[in-house]
Amino acid sequence: MGFTPSLDLSALYRKPVFQSRSPATSQRELTRAITPHDLRWGRGSVEAALFRHDLGGIALMALRYGAEVEIRPQAFRDFTLVQMPLRGHSHFESDGVSVPVAPGEVAVLSPQRSARLLWQRDCEQLIVKLPHRLLAGVLNHIQAAEDGGLTPRRVGDSLALPPAYKLPASLLPVWQGLVQQCLLVPPQAEADTVHPLWRRQFEQAMALFLLAHQPGVLPCTPEPGLPPALPRADAERLSRLERYLDSHLGSSLTLADLAAAAGVSPRLLNLLCQRHFGLAPMAWLRQRRLEAARELLQRQPERSVTDIALEFGFGHLGRFSAYYRQRYGELPSDTGPPAGHESRRCALADCG
């Protein structure tokens, strides 16, 4: 059933939701359990299985597909997913942020625009689904108590959560300990055996742990060389940069240009991007350009790959093709147009 040294998942594996070798059945059941999604099956046999333990609003799940899969879920409007491979590797792309995840590592996903999840053949993952109402409730409680001057980022009445990041290795034992404790708490259906206030403490502890250790939401100790700015200031700088990029994706940009748009030095911008996105500024720019190019390739199939690549600042079409294939697992010319349209072809030979 998979293996991770510091977790006993036997209680979870005693609670199957479904097991199936049918691709259609597997997708239907997973849509019901997690979120609507498009699913493309790759190499290997379909041997899907889902196990689930509910703790109030939190769902703890073990999931496997058997075969290699590509998953394109809808944006996460009201929940965040925390995923840890128990065996096999996975790769997540969330709103332009790319996160490879090895067994035992923990990725936190909260895409607001688009996501793409790649699971290796025979990969199995431990998944925790946390509702945003729980996260927001924990933040509101702490803010009301004026405990530590916490400054959550919000967009209107919603949390502005990073689209994807990995927990530091030093925190993985703590996260696994929280998961283990939650698996020992009887489910909500057995309310007569556990006082609801005691159960709620476990939910809140897990929510607070994630909020306190994600970039840009709660104050944290600055990295060496980073001025002691509040997370709100970091968010404003990156927000300025994002607005600038939205109107300059096709321009020839340098690191100095990006730093000037954010209002910081190149060195500070590099620290901010590494902290918030896990990428250097120019790599982050390239990912945003690739994301925009892919969206246009899908939306305007009558246009050539060459025109779209040039529109988003890729002057060398061979490199564009290589970057695109590395990220999406296909050449830009293979990105499928809607039915009824002719396949697009590159205008230059080195595009594919």
List pLDDT tens digits, range 134-161: 888 887 766 554 444 444 444 334 466 7
Q: What's the mean pLDDT in 159-165?
A: 79
Say what the pLDDT of residue 187 is.
Answer: 67
Provide the pLDDT confidence category of residue 189 given band limits of 50, 70 and 90. low
Average pLDDT over residues 263-279: 80
Share of the chain above pLDDT 90, in %: 27
Domain with CATH 1.10.10 in the chain: 231-278, 284-351
Compute how many other C-beta atoms are within 10 angstroms of the C-beta atom of residue 327: 17
Contact assessment for residue 214 and residue 135, using Cβ atoms and an 8 Å cutoff? no
Angle at which helices 255-262 and 231-246 pack, to 10 degrees? 120
141 CB-near residues (< 8 Å, 6+ apart): 204
* pTM check: above 0.75: no
Q: Which of 156-165, 263-272, 317-326, 335-344 has the lowest mean pLDDT?
A: 335-344
Q: What average pLDDT does range 271-281 have in this prediction?
A: 76
Range in 131-135, 152-156, 170-174, 300-304 the model is least confident about:
152-156
- DSSP code of residue 250: T
2: DSSP letter: -
Reported as a single tens digit per residue, the pLDDT across 192-206 is 666 777 778 888 888
Q: Looking at the predicted structure, is the pLDDT value of residue 184 above 60? A: yes
Cβ count near 20 (within 10 Å): 18
Element (H, E) at 308: helix 305-311
Question: Which distant-in-sequence residues (6+ apart) come within 8 Å of 9 by Cβ?
Answer: 1, 2, 62, 86, 126, 183
Specify the higher pLDDT residue, 144 or 283.
283
Considering the segment(s) 284-351 as one domain, its CATH architecture is Orthogonal Bundle (1.10)
Residue 203: its H or E element: helix 196-212
Other Cβ atoms closer than 10 A to 301: 16
The ranges of the chain annotated as CATH 2.60.120.10 are 10-212
Q: What is the CATH number of domain 231-278?
A: 1.10.10
Kindly indicate whether the domain formed by 10-212 is annotated with CATH number 2.60.120.10: yes
> Do the beta carbons of residue 15 and residue 51 sit within 8 Å?
yes
Say which residue, 13 or 141, is predicted with more confidence.
13
313 CA to centre of own chain = 26
pLDDT score at 144: 54
Work out the pLDDT band at 106, boundaries 50, 70, 90: very high
pLDDT of residue 336: 60
